[in-house]
Amino acid sequence: MAEANEHNSTSGTYLELTQAGIIGTMLFVTAGLWSFISPTGLISKGEISPIELTLIGTMVASHGWVMCFVLGAAFDVLPFIHRFVPFEESSLKSVQNLNLGGTIVIFVGLISGNLGFFYQTFLIGMSAFAFQYVHLWNPIRRLLSNRNLGLSDPVGIAGVLPGITIVIGSMICLVAGLDSENLGTLYLTMWMSIDLIWIPICWALSLSYFNRRRNWKIVPANQIGIRSSIIGGLVLIHLSFEIAYFYSYVGESIPFLLRGGVILALGLMLNPHRIIQNSIREKHYSALIVVSCTLIPIIGAISVFLWSIDSTTPRMFVYIGNGFLMILPIGAGIATGYISTLHEDHLHRREENRTNGWPTSIIVLIATVSISGPFLREKLIFETLSIQIRTAIIALPFLLALFRMSTWWKEEVIPKKGSWQRIPMFWDELHEPLDPYEFESE
């Protein structure tokens, strides 16, 4: 991206984070398959339970390769929105290296087949993820102090919420890495990641796409503040009960209810009926974002329903499956859908020449169904199935997604010379002058 570097901007460097995210996905899928298939895999040897690997995998995805897509989009579009440049290219490079480096270290530990060594590499990898957030502290501080949002902004306060909460990611990663042998700690840090990082991110990206990019106005601008407050209030209540449950001050019933309740609340605040109505009426949109957002209230409702019919011995979907799905495939779907739309904007591709991406969206649906199956029983279904069936259930959606990512990388991420523009279409219309890098950086 010589052109981006020449202008000393972060526009276009999202491509590097996108590539790091795709490489991280390859390592993630390979390590997961190795754990189940290889005779030296930790699952095959019985040294680690599928539940523990699920929790660890959720943490690695949420702070590793999925986060790459989110940060790539943020580095690219925030200067266009706020009319100043809060980031430096060196910050992006550091984040990219720490993110991918952490994933590689954890990958090496997992395929080693040595449980003690794996815990050590997991600590190193999570520490790298923690330090990636440290590099974001100063840019986020500058962004919050210099943000430029009017009362009629279509995203409003929702657009800065992730910046307020994401700095806590450092603490979450370090706690998970230091006490990774404790299932209770992994549960707590997973739900802290979802509540404090991924719910704000999904809320912000969804509104940014539907309200700002598509102008669908799924949530009126004057309601964003109160809806954000409702979501934030539920998150704080949920986290209070999670911490109390971790220290055995309360039982599991209320925390388990709130795990699904906070997801359901996010889904309802997005007005899914308006998303569906607009997707039926409009011809051009990202089906990946539409499907992912529509799945949020469905997963939340199923979780609450399953809790209501049996709160004493709840199914795994109620307390871990819903959280795993919130990251994979929902969070990943929203993030990759957003970054692919942004990339097409940089290519200045006309709307009528774009595809909605339904094949990828179908992969998300397959992933949701196939991943949900093991969690819809009281005990993990993996324990009663052969290794071949276990692997097929886990691998199918991830292999499909990996194939789609790889083909997209080959076809789109490395475009033909001259087709990529530093200033993306649509985003250059938000403010004057057209180029945000003509504004003075603080």
**Average confidence (pLDDT) over 334-344:** 94
* pLDDT for position 3: 41
Give the residue, 436 or 375, on which the prediction is more confident: 375
> Whose CA is closest to 159, among 275, 278, 78, 263?
78
* pLDDT for position 420: 76
| Cα dist from 12 to 4, 72, 97, 172, 362, whole Å | 6, 9, 17, 30, 29
**Average confidence (pLDDT) over 237-247:** 98
Q: What percent of the chain has pLDDT over 90?
A: 61
The string of pLDDT tens digits covering residues 127-149 is: 999 999 999 998 888 888 877 66
The span from the CA of 329 to the CA of 334, in Å, is 9
* pLDDT for position 1: 42
Q: Which fold has domain 2-438?
A: Cytochrome C Oxidase; Chain A (1.20.210)
**What is the chain's mean pLDDT, rounded?**
88
* pLDDT for position 403: 86
Q: Grade residue 37 by pLDDT with cuts at 50, 70 and 90.
A: confident
Please check the confidence at residue 401 and state whether its pLDDT lies above 60. Answer: yes
Q: Which of 37-41, 207-211, 393-397 is predicted with the least confidence, judged by mean pLDDT? A: 393-397
Amino acid, single-letter form, for residue 72? G
Domain range annotation of the chain = 2-438
Give the residue, 417 or 151, on which the prediction is more confident: 151
* pLDDT for position 380: 52
| Cα dist from 135 to 129, 141, 416, whole Å | 10, 11, 33
Please check the confidence at residue 113 and state whether its pLDDT lies above 90. Answer: yes
**Average confidence (pLDDT) over 160-171:** 93
Q: Grade residue 65 by pLDDT with cuts at 50, 70 and 90.
A: very high
Q: Grade residue 5 by pLDDT with cuts at 50, 70 and 90.
A: very low
Q: Which of 178-182, 258-262, 366-370 is predicted with the least confidence, judged by mean pLDDT? A: 366-370
The span from the CA of 147 to the CA of 160, in Å, is 9
Contacts 24+ apart (CB under 8 A), 272-275: 272/296, 272/297, 274/216, 274/217, 274/218, 275/210, 275/216, 275/218
Q: Which of 56-70, 76-90, 167-181, 186-200 is predicted with the least confidence, judged by mean pLDDT? A: 76-90
Token pair of 238 as six digits: 């949920």
> Whose CA is closest to 27, among 133, 100, 112?
100
Give the residue, 62 or 385, on which the prediction is more confident: 62
**Average confidence (pLDDT) over 368-391:** 69
Question: Following DSSP, what letter does each residue of 265-321 receive, concatenated?
Answer: HHHHHT-HHHHHHHHHH-S-S-HHHHHHHHHHHHHHHHHHHHHHH-SSS--HIIIII
**Average confidence (pLDDT) over 412-420:** 64
* pLDDT for position 381: 52
* pLDDT for position 72: 92
318 with 260: CB under 8 angstroms?
yes
Quickly tell me which residue has 């923690």 as its tokens: 130
* pLDDT for position 379: 53
Please check the confidence at residue 4 and state whether its pLDDT lies above 50. Answer: no
